[in-house]
Amino acid sequence: MERVLRAGAPIAAEYPLVFAGSRHAAFVIDEADGEARSTCALLERELLVRGRKLHAGLIGSVATDPRWRGQGHGASVLAEAEQELARRGALLAILWADDTDYYEKRGWRRFGWEIDFEIPSDCAASMPEPFGVRERRPEDDGQLHELYERHPERIARSAEETSALLSCPDMEVLVVERWGRVAGYSCLGRGADMRNVVHEWAGDAQALLTLLREHFARRRDRGVEESLFLIAPPSAVDVAERLEKVGAQMSEGVVGMAKILRPQEAGSLCAELFDRRAGVHCTAAHEDGTVEFTGPKGKVSCTREVLFDLLFAPLADRALVEQVGGKLGVPGIELPLTPFVWGLDSI
Ligand SMILES: CC(C)(COP(=O)(O)OP(=O)(O)OC[C@H]1O[C@@H](n2cnc3c(N)ncnc32)[C@H](O)[C@@H]1OP(=O)(O)O)[C@@H](O)C(=O)NCCC(=O)NCCS
């Protein structure tokens, strides 16, 4: 991984939950004659979405030695990672792709919904003065973790995991204090990834804008005048309103790519979300990922792609829910789900 992804530089400190020897993490290695040809990392996590816990697996750092590319080594490492996560009970796998086509060909789909902001540096002057803003200290981590846990959509973490992630290299973490308590935090950049991106934050809109102003000021001191980018879940409407007011550009995007690993469970979850009063049942799930639903009005058979979009359609598009729900005779108001993953969790 270091050879292919970091030109030989260390990678472990960027992903403390993957490389610290947890039983929830593992590596797939395709090797011959003692030489690694292709590899990837995986990490089991709990995805919290609409008050539910979904067992999910993250896949990251997929890397094939340049001398062995184009021979299916990457594809077999990926397939093995998916199987291992399925064996460990993960309903779905998630990854962040550089080349989405590569994964789409292998059954992965774009999933989730996030709001991305581009904030030009001249917006900083319209943000609140950064009173009470300072760099995060390790003794703040308990309070930062409490703030993190207020996000309704997130990956579940222990306080120790949050603390380990906050210590990632090449990341600027600022906190804002009010009345002696930490009222918000923001993380800019992370290792080799997410340069100029505030990928994780917590606190109210006022706290966040105060933090952003200080990020801008510190970057200016380093001679950086480029725009900042900020990622937010669609539920952050106050933040969106304030950022638009100061001149940020907003666009919608997906969280990443995902693939259902356990169609039977995904089918049951989907049936339950179609109708809480148990009017819809998942009556069959096949090896190829297709499932069958029975509802008050009729039966529907769904391909794995349709099942995926019923649960996790990009930007929570409801077109398929309405079409399938119409045939089943239920409105499916709880679908699709809007999972969101904060930046420190990506691997
Ligand atoms: C992305 C990556 C892991 C793919 O590994 P790989 O072992 O070459 O993958 P595969 O052999 O399974 O597939 C490579 C694809 O490129 C095509 N290909 C053909 N010749 C190739 C060559 N000389 N080099 C690379 N790819 C080639 C293959 O036919 C295949 O196409 P397909 O998608 O239509 O099947 C590898 O290119 C890599 O390490 N890239 C740099 C790191 C990276 O971007 N990682 C992703 C981070 S999530």
| Beta carbons within 8 Å of 17's beta carbon, 6+ residues apart | 24, 25, 43, 161, 164, 165, 347
Global pTM value = 0.95
Q: Identify the CATH assignment for 114-253 out of 3.20.20.70, 3.40.50.2300, 3.40.630.30, 3.40.225.10.
A: 3.40.630.30
Residue 248 CA to residue 228 CA, distance in Å, equals 9
Give residue ranges with CB within 6 A of ligand 1.
4-5, 38, 62-64, 69-75, 97-98, 102, 105
Indicate which atom in ligand 1 lies nearest the CA of residue 75: 12
User: pLDDT band at 29, cuts 50/70/90?
Assistant: very high
Can you give the pLDDT at residue 287? 85
The answer to whether residue 193 scores a pLDDT higher than 90 is no
- Helix 304-312 vs helix 263-274: angle between axes, to the nearest 10 degrees? 50
Return the residue whose CA atom lies nearest to atom 18 of ligand 1. Answer: 70
What is the distance between the alpha carbons of residues 53 and 173, in angstroms, rounded to a whole number? 28
CA distance 267 to 165: 34
What are the residue ranges spanned by the domains of the chain?
2-112, 114-253, 257-328
State mean pLDDT over 197-209: 98
CA angle, residues 92, 98, 102, in degrees to nearest 5:
70
User: Mean pLDDT score of the chain, rounded to an integer?
Assistant: 96
Question: For the chain, what percent of residues have pLDDT higher than 70?
Answer: 100
Question: Which pLDDT band, with edges at 50, 70 and 90, does 165 fall under?
Answer: very high
- Nearest alpha carbon, ligand 1 atom 8: 69
Residue 234 scores a pLDDT above 90: yes
- Kindly indicate the confidence band of residue 276, based on its pLDDT and cuts at 50, 70 and 90: confident
At residue 277 the predicted structure's pLDDT band, cuts being 50, 70 and 90, is confident
**CB 91 within 8 Å of CB 262:** yes
pLDDT given for residue 191 in this prediction: 83
* pLDDT class of 162 with cuts at 50, 70, 90: very high
Among 102, 193, 347, name the best residue to mutate to test ligand 1's pocket (greatest count of ligand atoms within 8 A of Cβ). 102
Residue 21 has pLDDT above 90, yes or no: no
Mutate to test the pocket of ligand 1, among 2, 64, 98, 106 (most ligand atoms within 8 A of CB): 64
Q: In terms of Cα–Cα distance, which of 90, 93, 98, 92 is closest to 64?
A: 98
C-alpha count within 13 angstroms, C-beta hemisphere, residue 280: 27
Residue 66: pLDDT above 90? Answer: yes
Pick from 289, 261, 267, 346: which is nearest to 89 by CA?
261
Six-digit token pair at 59?
A: 């896949």
pLDDT of residue 278: 80
Token output for 273: 């979300």
**Are the C-beta atoms of 257 and 94 separated by less than 8 Å?**
yes
Closest to 123 (Cα-Cα) out of 220, 222, 238, 235 = 220
User: Do 2-112 and 114-253 fold alike per CATH?
Assistant: yes
Mean pLDDT of 5-28: 95
> At the topology level of CATH, where does 2-112 sit?
Aminopeptidase (3.40.630)
Is the predicted pLDDT of residue 192 greater than 90, yes or no? no
Beta bridge partners of 230: 117, 198
What the block records as the tokens of 197 is 């991106």
Block residue for tokens 């420190």: 344
**Residue pLDDT, tens place only, 297-318:** 999 999 999 999 999 999 999 9
Average pLDDT over residues 259-268: 96
Pocket test for ligand 1, best of 3, 69, 82, 96 (most atoms within 8 A of CB): 69
Distance from chain centroid for Cα 62: 17
Distance of CA 86 to the CA centre of its chain: 19
Among residues 345, 343, 346, 338, the alpha carbon closest in space to that of 153 is found at 338
- How many helices and strands (H and E) does the chain possess? 11, 17
Q: Which ligand 1 atom is at minimum distance from the Cα of 105?
A: 33
The Cα 268–Cα 307 span in angstroms is 11
Q: How many CB atoms lie within 10 A of CB 79?
A: 14
Contact predicate 24/164, CB 8 Å = no
